[in-house]
Amino acid sequence: MGKIKDQLELLDDGGVLSEVKSQLAAGTSPEAILDECKDAMAVIGEEFSEGRMFVSDLMMAANIFESITAEVMPLIKDVFEGSSKGKVVIGTVKGDIHNIGKDLVANMLLVNGFEVIDLGVDVEPDSFITAIKENDATVLAISCLLVSCYESIKATVDALQAAGLRDGVKVIIGGGPIDELVVDFSGADAFGRDPQDAIKLCEEVLA
């Protein structure tokens, strides 16, 4: 073990996918493979935060990680059922169609034991509200990479308030330009700089 982590950190897409398939065939548990991937993604996130990796590297890592989870998750679906840490509704806000960061956070939450309801991109406030009601979710994670869409974040939080759900739902936001000022403007509860932040925030909220 360890080879998957090393190859993912090197962004060796072909090599790591081949290794994943080989280890699954040899009897390695899917959970062990996901643990290696989580460790690798944590390292990649740290290197990105410290300027040793670029946005293009993060995008490639996210795509590789998504391919691995697509290979592994069907084999361990039953492991996650009934043992969820909590439900998180996630989506990219109305007016923004960026999905790489959102997908990475969604996958990292999933393999860390959360039940994730992913609404995709360009999500209307009412769609977030409907998903929260239908799934009885207590965390809303909103992704936004466009400064022009800050108003959409605020509109979503306002819609949550108007629906009478605000007190029971924590709103976390994230994306390249997001900071504490956007939290204050939108009425959200907190922001995360990377997937590890998102996981930590969700764990704190749902503890």
End-to-end CA distance of the chain: 31
Q: What is the pLDDT of residue 104?
A: 83
pTM over 0.75: yes
The token pair at 68 is 């691995």
The topology under which CATH files domain 3-80 is 1.10.1240
Mean pLDDT over each residue of the chain, to the nearest integer: 89
Q: What is the pLDDT of residue 171?
A: 97
87-206 classified as CATH 3.30.360.10: no
CA distance 121 to 199: 20
pLDDT digits (tens, 9 = 90+) for 102-113: 888 888 888 788
Q: Which helix (H) or strand (E) holds 101?
A: helix 100-111
**Strands 87-92 and 190-192: what pairing?**
unpaired
Ranges 36-40, 138-142, 183-187: which has the least confidence: 36-40
Residue in 68, 75, 86 with CA at minimum distance from that of residue 141: 86
Q: What is the pLDDT of residue 205?
A: 85
Q: What is the pLDDT of residue 155?
A: 98
Domain boundaries, the chain: 3-80, 87-206
* Cβ–Cβ under 8 Å, residues 118 and 149: no
pLDDT interval class at 81 (50, 70, 90): low
pLDDT digits (tens, 9 = 90+) for 142-198: 999 999 999 999 999 999 999 999 999 999 999 888 999 999 999 999 999 888 888
Three-state secondary structure call for residue 86: coil
Q: What is the pLDDT of residue 133?
A: 97
CA distances from 56 to 32, 61, 142, 147, 176 (A): 27, 9, 21, 20, 13
Q: What is the pLDDT of residue 10?
A: 94
Buried/exposed 68-97: b ≥16 CB within 10 Å, e otherwise: bbeebbeeeeeebeeeebbbbbbbbbbbbe
The token pair at 127 is 């769609």
The token pair at 163 is 């629906």
Q: What is the pLDDT of residue 82?
A: 55
